[in-house]
């Protein structure tokens, strides 16, 4: 069974800083990996999806990488803004139909 | 952008009562999912549905749970006799063909008292 771990559990940074969120998974036979954003009491917004054949994906200030051999993915956020404050979840899909989610990193960007 | 819609946003029910959580997936999507998130815990997979039948379910999805796509647009999750531990946020998701990413709804917060 796929286990997904995210560190740190919480992170506070001043506005404007670049930051990296980490995600590790136990089953390297991953089909794809997805990063989500979750605001308090709200749903999940998909940010980036990386297929197993890809190394990275970029969207605006976000860049996600995937290293299957080491079982790791990172989400890089450039020039952080207070509006980036949220919980960030990674989720891996291993060929079965469902996603395995990590516990998330709660990000606070301080103005 | 198209979106997945869930109703109600919050449901309070007494233990032992039946609840139905409703979802309207994106119209041309073919794969449908329910996930749940107990407060402070991970988002967990419950069930996936394709071609009018369950394609996969987790150990959480026991006989108290059922899903239905009654009219080609709605996708429902029924909990027959709710327990306190069913209190959670329930997310519906849908996905199109191939390797497309799933889209999640805003969730229904279920509180069992």
When pLDDT is cut at 50, 70 and 90, the band that residue A28 belongs to is: confident
A99-108 core/surface letters (b: 16 or more CB in 10 A; e: else): bbbbbbbbbe
Instruction: Answer whether residue B100 shows pLDDT above 80.
Output: no
Task: Chain B: give the shortest CA distance to residue A34, in Å.
Answer: 8
- Which of A41, A49, A89 faces B43 most closely, judged by CB atoms? A89
Question: Chain A closest CA to B91's CA: distance in Å?
Answer: 7
Q: Which residues from B are below 8 Å from A100, CB to CB?
A: 45
pLDDT of residue A72: 95
The answer, for A53 touching chain B at a CB cutoff of 8 Å, is no
Asked if A46 lies within 8 A of B106 by C-beta distance, the reply is: no
Rounded to the nearest angstrom, the minimum Cα separation between A43 and chain B is 4
For residue B4 the two structure tokens come to 């997945």
Confidence of residue A14 (pLDDT cuts 50, 70, 90): very high
A99 and chain B: CB distance < 8 Å anywhere?
yes
- Residue A35: pLDDT band (50, 70, 90) is very high
A26/B95 Cα distance (integer angstroms): 25
User: What digits encode the pLDDT tens for the residues B41-98?
Assistant: 999 999 999 989 999 999 999 999 999 998 878 999 999 999 999 999 999 999 988 7
- The residue written with tokens 């404050």 in the block is A85
A81 and B CB contact within 8 Å = no
> Measured between CB atoms, does A96 come within 8 Å of chain B?
yes
A52: contact with B, CB 8 A cutoff: no
A99 with B31: Cβ contact below 8 A: no
Residue of A nearest to B104 (CA): A44
């Amino acid at each position: 069974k796929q286990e997904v771990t995210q560190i740190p559990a919480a992170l506070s940074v001043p506005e404007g800083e670049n930051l990296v969120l980490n995600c590790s998974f136990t089953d390297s036979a991953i089909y794809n990996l997805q990063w989500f954003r979750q605001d308090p009491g709200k749903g999940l917004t998909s940010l980036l999806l990386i297929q197993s054949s890809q190394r990275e994906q970029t969207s605006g200030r976000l860049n996600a990488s995937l290293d299957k051999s080491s079982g790791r993915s990172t989400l890089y956020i450039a020039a952080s803004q207070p509006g980036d404050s949220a919980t960030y979840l990674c989720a891996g899909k291993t060929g079965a139909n469902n996603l395995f989610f990590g516990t998330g990193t709660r990000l606070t960007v301080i103005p | 952008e198209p979106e997945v819609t869930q109703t109600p946003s919050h449901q309070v029910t007494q233990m032992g009562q039946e609840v139905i959580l409703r979802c309207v997936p994106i119209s041309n999507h073919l794969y449908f999912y329910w996930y749940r998130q107990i407060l402070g815990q991970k988002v967990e997979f419950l069930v996936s549905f394709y071609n009018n039948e369950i394609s996969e379910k987790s150990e959480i999805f026991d006989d108290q749970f059922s899903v239905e796509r009654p009219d080609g647009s709605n996708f429902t999750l029924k909990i027959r006799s709710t327990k306190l531990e069913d209190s959670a946020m329930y997310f519906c998701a849908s996905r199109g063909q191939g390797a497309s990413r799933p889209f999640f709804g805003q969730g229904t917060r279920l509180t069992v008292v």
